Structure 1
Amino acid sequence: MGRLTDKVAIITGAASGMGLAGAQIFAKEGAKVVMTDVTEDALERESAALKETGASVLALRLDVADDQNWTEVVEKTVAEFGKIDILVNNAGVHKPLGVLDTTEDDWNFVMNINAKGVWLGMKAVIPHLQKAGGGSIVNVSSIAAFLGGLQSDGGGMAYSASKGAVRSVSKHAAQAFAGDNIRVNTIHPGPIYTGLAKATGITKEQMGEVYGAGTPIPPHVGDPEDIGYGMLYLASDESKFVTGEELVIDGGSITH
């Protein structure tokens, strides 16, 4: 308890899955959490549930591909909590389409949210981290940034490209702002059983069977909390000498 006491964190894609797990863990560890998402009903429901635990939570709609929307969220965060210490760029989308099947609209949709959204988030938040004397940025990439194919990216070419972009831009930002005591690291999840997977009707056991050959650790898929605890480490002062690094949480998938 208390690993993020008095820290203010913005988390994108926080209405479900890995972002929600991160918000819940951050709040438990003492952070003031700004939960953002485009799915407003789920965002309101989950943020209200978290507030009932006594957590300090602000729920704001955010389209991560909208520069002005980022400005509004940052301004409201500072007005409510006085500062920003942590940014977790988690929001993402996926299209299971290959090189020949992907349309220009598909490409733009995925890249705008997964890659452009990360850049806009850092651009909006970094000046406030500089004012605070430092902070932590955690960008959620994927093992698809390292690998290609169904086991890593669900067959999504644009998804792989976008996550590779997140990996690269994070290293650039880590170098550029290290002197401001701003750390920038990436998390690379493997197969995770999120609410989106559950909504398709597949069970965790069935998903494990799909990924079993490529993910050594049983049950062959992870839980959102596995990523949430990775976010916690990189956001906390425990990783104060860690920047530009890649935390792979994949049950051993890329050992192949």
Structure 2
Amino acid sequence: MNRVAGKIALVTGAGMGLGRASSLLLAAEGAKVVVTDIDETAARQTAELIAENGGESLSFSHDVSNLEDWPSVMSAVAKRFGRLDVLVNNAGIATAKNIEDTSLPEWRRTMAVNLDGVFFGCQQGIALMKQSSGGSIINLSSIDGIIGEAELAAYCASKGGVRTLTKAVAVHCAERRYGIRCNSIHPGYIWTPQTENYLRDLGTLDQEKAKALARHPIGFLGEPNDIAYMVLYLASDESKFVTGSEMVVDGGYLAV
């Protein structure tokens, strides 16, 4: 317990799945958590769950792809808590389309949420974190930021961008001695509503789930807390020498 006691954390896309699990675990380990989501009701529900367990939380409606949304969220964090220690750029979308079938609007929307949103978050996070003692920026990429999958053309491109943007941010902050670390997490298939919807779009859910399972040598698909615990590690001072790293949490997917 208390691995991030006293830290102020902001988690985007916190209304469900990995974002909600990460928010709840950070709060359970002592952080005060600001949860945001484009779905305001879902964000509020996550904040209520934190409060029910004795934690402190704020929630905001937040479209990460809209630059104008970011300053108001950051201003609220600064006004309430005076600083930001942890930023989890988690919000993301996936469209099951190959390169031939992906439309320009689908491509641009995926890039706007998955890559522009992380770009905005890193810029805004650095601006606030460097005013205090630094912090940890955690960007959610994917195994598909390292390899390609035929039916996820735009998603793969966006998550590959997150992977290398993270390294550029890490080196920038380190060279300037900001005390800000930046790392990316690369999940395998984690059983969330987004994963379920993606597999259903590919065909029969049971068949597609079985195919996905077969690609993970460990023998099962991940759960949101499998990623939340990596978020917790990177948010904590336990990882003070870790920056610019890509943390693969994939049940062995990339090992074969």
Aligned to 1:183: 181
Tell me, in whole angstroms, the C-alpha distance in 2 between the residues paired with 1:51 and 1:168: 36
Instruction: Confirm or deny that 1:213 pairs with 2:214.
Output: yes
Aligned to 1:40: 40
Tell me, in whole angstroms, the C-alpha distance in 2 between the residues paired with 1:201 and 1:137: 30
The alignment partner of 1:185 has SS state of strand
The alignment partner of 2:30 has SS state of coil
Tell me, in whole angstroms, the C-alpha distance in 2 between the residues paired with 1:201 and 1:89: 24
Equivalent positions of 1:128-139 (< 5 A) are 128-139=128-139
Q: TM-score, normalization: structure 1?
A: 0.93
Is the Cα–Cα contact under 8 Å of residues 40 and 62 in structure 2 kept in the other structure? no
Equivalent positions of 1:129-208 (< 5 A) are 129-149=129-149, 155-178=151-174, 179-197=177-195
Equivalent positions of 1:94-113 (< 5 A) are 94-113=94-113
Q: TM-score, normalization: structure 2?
A: 0.93
Tell me, in whole angstroms, the C-alpha distance in 1 between the residues paired with 2:198 and 2:98: 21
Tell me, in whole angstroms, the C-alpha distance in 1 between the residues paired with 2:70 and 2:155: 22
Q: CA deviation at 1:210?
A: 2.3
Which amino acid in structure 1 is aligned with residue 218 of structure 2?
Answer: I
Equivalent positions of 1:28-107 (< 5 A) are 28-107=28-107
Deviations 1:99-155 (A, max 9, x none): 1111110110000000000000111110111111211000000000111126xxxx1
The alignment partner of 2:96 has SS state of coil
User: Aligned pair in 2 of structure 1 residues 75, 255: CA closer, same or farther (>3 Å)?
Assistant: same
Tell me, in whole angstroms, the C-alpha distance in 2 between the residues paired with 1:110 and 1:43: 21
Aligned to 2:126: 126
Q: CA deviation at 1:195?
A: 2.9
Which amino acid in structure 1 is aligned with residue 157 of structure 2?
Answer: A
Which amino acid in structure 2 is aligned with residue 181 of structure 1?
Answer: G
Is the Cα–Cα contact under 8 Å of residues 35 and 46 in structure 2 kept in the other structure? no
Q: CA deviation at 1:248?
A: 0.2
Tell me, in whole angstroms, the C-alpha distance in 2 between the residues paired with 1:201 and 1:185: 28
Q: CA deviation at 1:47?
A: 1.4
User: Aligned pair in 2 of structure 1 residues 224, 184: CA closer, same or farther (>3 Å)?
Assistant: same
Tell me, in whole angstroms, the C-alpha distance in 2 between the residues paired with 1:132 and 1:206: 51
Deviations 1:153-183 (A, max 9, x none): xx11000000000001100000000121110
Q: How many residues align?
A: 251
Tell me, in whole angstroms, the C-alpha distance in 1 between the residues paired with 2:145 and 2:193: 22
Q: CA deviation at 1:21?
A: 0.4
The alignment partner of 1:67 has SS state of coil
The alignment partner of 1:180 has SS state of coil
Is the Cα–Cα contact under 8 Å of residues 217 and 253 in structure 2 kept in the other structure? yes
Q: CA deviation at 1:199?
A: 6.5
Is the Cα–Cα contact under 8 Å of residues 125 and 137 in structure 2 kept in the other structure? no
User: Aligned pair in 2 of structure 1 residues 100, 125: CA closer, same or farther (>3 Å)?
Assistant: same
The alignment partner of 2:131 has SS state of helix
Which amino acid in structure 1 is aligned with residue 71 of structure 2?
Answer: T
- Between the aligned residues of both structures, percent identity stands at 41
Tell me, in whole angstroms, the C-alpha distance in 1 between the residues paired with 2:24 and 2:90: 14
Is the Cα–Cα contact under 8 Å of residues 199 and 209 in structure 2 kept in the other structure? no
